[in-house]
Amino acid sequence: MKKIAATLLACAMLFTFANSTYASGVDLKHAVDEVVGTPYKWGGNTVKGFDCSGFILYIFNQYDVDLPRTSKAQSEEGVKVSKDELQPGDLVFFNTFGKGVSHAGIYLGNNEFAHASSSKGVRISKLSEDYYEKRYVTARRIISEETYDDMMSKED
Active centre residues (catalytic): 52, 103, 115
DSSP 38: P
- Are 122 and 115 in contact, with CB atoms under 8 Å apart? yes
Question: Residues 6 or more apart from 117 whose CB is under 8 A from it?
Answer: 40, 123, 125
d(CA 80, CA 154): 27
Helix H or strand E encompassing 52: helix 52-61
What gap in Å lies between CA 28 and CA 13, rounded to an integer? 23
Give which of 139, 128, 67 is closest to 101, Cα–Cα: 139
